[in-house]
């Protein structure tokens, strides 16, 4: 049936389509590897006598905790949710303007990022970056994924949204429901996780005392994470 055989021109067109189809098949992998994934940091390798205080979410705005952060000049990393400063941004403006704290990225809506595709993760992470920038004029450089849950897409998304690391933690020393975790022996480079909850002032006092006892001082995490 010679008349059904593709003419040379049609064959050339088919051949031209084939590489496109192959490209289409490999594109998602290429997208996952670009931009270059950021490192995941749960503690910092350093010989400096330092610990890192990080405080998440931002829902409860205790004036006593803010006073302590300012009085003790704690260079805390604040992983804030835009919704938690929408109703009282002054609390955090004071911390950032009058002390050495910095605002970092904790997404917009606090999802488990591993349940989202790359586009969904990007909306959460770049969205929070844009909100912080608009409110505080300071773009976050560290991403703490909610629940500490991340995957390969989170590490490339972090880079695409201006972060240089995905940051988890060494010790969660938050008091929850009246239960305070046992005191660890803090070591140089440890990252301590706290939350803006009702017990932040006492949790902070305890962490600062533990740091003192170990001969460590709080240092700014952003400056200890390489570009
Ligand atoms: Zn959180």
The two beta strands, 40-41 and 171-172, are unpaired
Report how far ligand 1's centroid is from the alpha carbon of 28 (Å). Answer: 29
Q: Give the torsion sign (CA, 147, 148, 151, 156).
A: positive
Residues, CB within 5 angstroms of ligand 1 (ion): 56-57, 146
**CB-CB contact of 130 with 139 (8 Å):** no
The predicted structure's pLDDT at residue 19: 40
Report how far ligand 1's centroid is from the alpha carbon of 133 (Å). Answer: 19
Question: CA end-to-end span of the chain, whole Å?
Answer: 65
Domain range annotation of the chain: 2-28, 39-224
DSSP state of 211: H
Report how far ligand 1's centroid is from the alpha carbon of 194 (Å). Answer: 10
Could you tell me which of 161, 36, 135, 37 has the C-alpha nearest to residue 80?
135
Q: Determine the Cα–Cα distance for residues 23 and 31; give it in Å rounded to an integer.
A: 12
Report how far ligand 1's centroid is from the alpha carbon of 2 (Å). Answer: 68
The neighbouring-strand residues paired with 69 are none
The class level of CATH for 39-224 reads alpha beta
Report how far ligand 1's centroid is from the alpha carbon of 22 (Å). Answer: 41
The predicted structure's pLDDT at residue 34: 78
Q: Determine the Cα–Cα distance for residues 52 and 221; give it in Å rounded to an integer.
A: 6
* Token duo for residue 34: 């670009």
The predicted structure's pLDDT at residue 122: 98
Element at 12 (helix H, strand E): helix 8-32
Per-residue pLDDT of the chain (227 residues; tens, 9 = 90+): 444 444 444 444 444 443 443 444 444 444 546 799 999 999 999 999 999 999 999 999 999 999 999 999 999 999 999 999 999 999 999 999 999 999 999 999 999 999 999 999 999 999 999 999 999 999 999 999 999 999 999 999 999 999 999 999 999 999 999 999 999 999 999 999 999 999 999 999 999 999 999 999 999 999 999 99
The two beta strands, 77-80 and 217-218, are unpaired
Report how far ligand 1's centroid is from the alpha carbon of 146 (Å). Answer: 5
């Amino acid at each position: 049936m010679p008349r059904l055989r593709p003419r040379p021109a049609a064959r050339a067109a088919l051949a031209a389509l084939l590489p496109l189809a192959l490209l289409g098949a490999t594109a998602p992998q290429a997208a996952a590897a670009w931009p270059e994934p950021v490192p995941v940091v749960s503690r910092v390798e350093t010989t400096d006598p330092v610990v890192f205080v990080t405080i998440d979410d931002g829902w409860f705005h205790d004036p006593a905790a803010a006073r302590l952060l300012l009085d003790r000049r704690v260079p805390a990393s604040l992983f804030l949710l835009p919704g938690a400063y929408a109703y009282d941004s002054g609390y955090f403006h004071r911390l950032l303007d009058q002390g050495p704290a910095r605002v970092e990225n904790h997404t917009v809506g606090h999802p488990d990022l591993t349940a989202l595709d790359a586009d969904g993760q990007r909306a959460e992470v770049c969205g929070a970056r844009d909100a912080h920038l608009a409110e505080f004029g300071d773009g976050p450089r560290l991403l703490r994924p909610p629940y500490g849950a991340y995957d390969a897409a989170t590490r490339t998304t972090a880079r695409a949204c201006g972060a240089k690391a995905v940051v988890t933690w060494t010790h969660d020393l938050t008091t929850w429901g009246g239960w305070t975790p046992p005191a660890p022996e803090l070591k140089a480079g440890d990252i301590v996780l706290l939350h803006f909850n009702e017990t932040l002032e006492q949790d902070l006092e305890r962490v600062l005392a533990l740091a003192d006892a170990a001969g460590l001082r709080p240092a700014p995490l952003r400056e200890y994470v390489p570009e």
